[in-house]
Structure 1
């Protein structure tokens, strides 16, 4: 252990202990979403099952509530709802990752946990840090117990990537398939075109570039956080593209992949993953029951809205509720909360009649089966309005105090809306339409205590969580 490692391992717990009381006093602290002990959280990393537990790592800035130098925070769970925080797993403590341990993934083989990540290095000088001056290195940390790191090394430097790329090559997702190992990396070309590199290995250490996945025409300048996976025989590429025309600053969605992604293939239509204000950089994994589970960051980089109420208490951001991915019509993806959420429901449901308003716990699970236009209002400041004529659903804030800068988002459904599920926590709403064919995720900040919920155009069942 070097001197920097020793210092950081003392300093991070000290900062967490000093900020604990202020964070825990926050009325907007979530009840069943993974959130940082203090400071900043963003991208989910290294999602996996190891030793009979779910492990979730996350981009973590313990010293700066607005970001700062990134570590990998760590939490474990047995039910995807109750998360136990563990000590930081990866620190920016080597020359190849000294300016941040950026996003990546986990590969589990027996008792070994292999954590692949991007080591961020910003060289001193007059650089733009896009085409010059930045190192985005593929690094590997190995753990024998799922809690501590036994070794770290750098596997690939920028010079090892294909020609024609900027310094921005990052976020390795690694998986085993047909006797070999594969890695996908998000990339930005010198012509500002986003793409995903596919690399192959036989030993997890030495990697060869074998293919590049992209669209014929430029679709954004950078594809972040790639996730390549198969579901019911169909391969999908999920990416977070920067520089596309969308409602948010950056996009987030997926392509169906047709053909062999190791060679000749094409990408299908791009589908938005979540139409809400706060959703980015999702990653998925397969659990011991064969379910593909996805978790996203309930945030958005560089947005003109924020989370001032939690920042005032020394923390910011959380993950979404873990979502079960299933294959939908026409090769689309459906997202629904994992069934483990149902176990948190109250024994009895409240029936909320058409036109009625009820005072509910901010932690609730609402379901409805509309047959036409409907409107749902939460805390008298957030509205969900569906119009049958054009199958359009709008999420809008009517109370600026709850919005923290958020305004309106909309989505057009591919079929009339016949199912609605709203999962509320103390400072978030996740709305699933048509069994997860469309989703809105947002943070919000109602007055402390119970929230008023009103529905018009249909009845609803509401459980406390």
Structure 2
């Protein structure tokens, strides 16, 4: 499928990437083993899937504006979840039903085709607040028969097709198949400013019927973005990014929350949600999505935060944001554990066996550190900017310098026995006790390395080769 506007947008994006990409590549904080935009802006992961032999990751992409702009779907693929090849944009805002942005969504693979469900954003002219009036949030479907070009595109549902009592904010479809039917979740905001998730079902992937709504007894935020509903070892989880949850010092520390509810019962009918759990206690983690790779569930998150008070100095080089590393999700005692996919071990270079010695530095720019803490207090500095400290049941991540406005985040956890840190040139991802506690942040150091201020135990540190 091709039209004049699509061709013009693709041509302009290719020119911008060709002309501005070299400037982005010169940034000393450009990452080495994370997905990042060639230039411009990146946010939510979209359309995660394995198609044939390749893994595909799409992402919200503003190629013309590193502070946002009208969204397209950027695209990359990989054979091993480590080495990524960037492909031309697949979805552009080129139709009346998505003209102001190709918003987030998912992929479903069947019969050799890639079905890409997404939200088409339309902002009508006039005196509107674009919450209760003036916005079209259309559920759209694009089909690819080769994973790299689009064969067809259509609008499936408009605002009038959603349940009554909603604002114009219904978005981010996630689709899967179960018991011979197709199911879709979408995030929504009601006229009473209550966040909820809508459940739709279909016989043919085209015609959808609303069959259930899931929410909490008390209002928990005004909008639930980027829903993801899945099962791990018999337990269902509803992952959402709620907007409007009041910030607290230790639980909801970011401007918007991001996490999951255990779900009990049948999502298609009678069901209840357990206590909300935050997925990541750091500064930069939002809008995660997952997909099945055989029997394992793999999740990517956006290593960013909308409307945050902190910034990213990479804008001086014309680009902004990245994805987290891909993580395998498992469950234990009704809670999700997140751990980097083992494929990342292929990037391990030189191994350094370390006996933790306060004051001794290891100079290394990108690394995988695995530390057995023996449950004792410790403090270490990562690069010259991120400080990680545990004592008296509190894990503190602070960015005293090089954080571009980032300050301190905390996580309450019992004496940690193991710690894994993946550090790239401008990112740090922390996984404690097998992914029971996670903390992610961007940072912008002027020198790189790791140094303990206090602590005992043994550690292994690998240089990470560039992917």
| Offset from partner CA, 1:11-45 (integer Å, 9 cap, x none) | 11000001011011111111000000000000000
Task: Choose 62-71 or 75-84, whichever is displaced more.
Answer: 75-84
1:349, 1:455 → 2: CA distance?
Answer: 19
Task: Give the one of 394, 412, 423 matched to 1:392.
Answer: 394
1:138, 1:93 → 2: CA distance?
Answer: 15
8 Å contact kept, 2:356–2:455? no
1:452, 1:335 → 2: CA distance?
Answer: 23
Per-residue deviation at 1:6? Answer: 1.6
1:412, 1:110 → 2: CA distance?
Answer: 47
8 Å contact kept, 2:41–2:67? yes
1:178, 1:463 → 2: CA distance?
Answer: 45
Partner of 1:292: 297
Three-state SS of the structure 1 residue aligned to 2:349 is coil
Per-residue deviation at 1:455? Answer: 5.1
Partner of 1:256: 262
RMSD after superposition = 1.0
1:312 aligns with 2:316: yes
Task: Give the one of 340, 352, 377 matched to 1:349.
Answer: 352
Per-residue deviation at 1:347? Answer: 4.3
Partner of 1:403: 403
Relative to the length of structure 2, the TM-score reads: 0.96
Per-residue deviation at 1:451? Answer: 2.5
8 Å contact kept, 1:352–1:455? no
8 Å contact kept, 1:368–1:458? no
1:83 aligns with 2:84: yes
1:15, 1:382 → 2: CA distance?
Answer: 34
- Unaligned runs of 5+ residues in structure 1 are none
Partner of 1:267: 273
8 Å contact kept, 2:384–2:446? no
- Unaligned runs of 5+ residues in structure 2 are 247-251
The 5 Å alignment of 1:46-445 reads 46-245=47-246, 246-288=252-294, 290-308=295-313, 310-329=314-333, 331-370=334-373, 371-387=375-391, 389=392, 391-399=393-401, 402-413=402-413, 415-445=414-444
1:452, 1:177 → 2: CA distance?
Answer: 47
Three-state SS of the structure 1 residue aligned to 2:261 is strand
Relative to the length of structure 1, the TM-score reads: 0.97
1:360, 1:432 → 2: CA distance?
Answer: 21
How many residue pairs match? The answer is 456
2:406, 2:346 → 1: CA distance?
Answer: 32
1:350, 1:363 → 2: CA distance?
Answer: 16
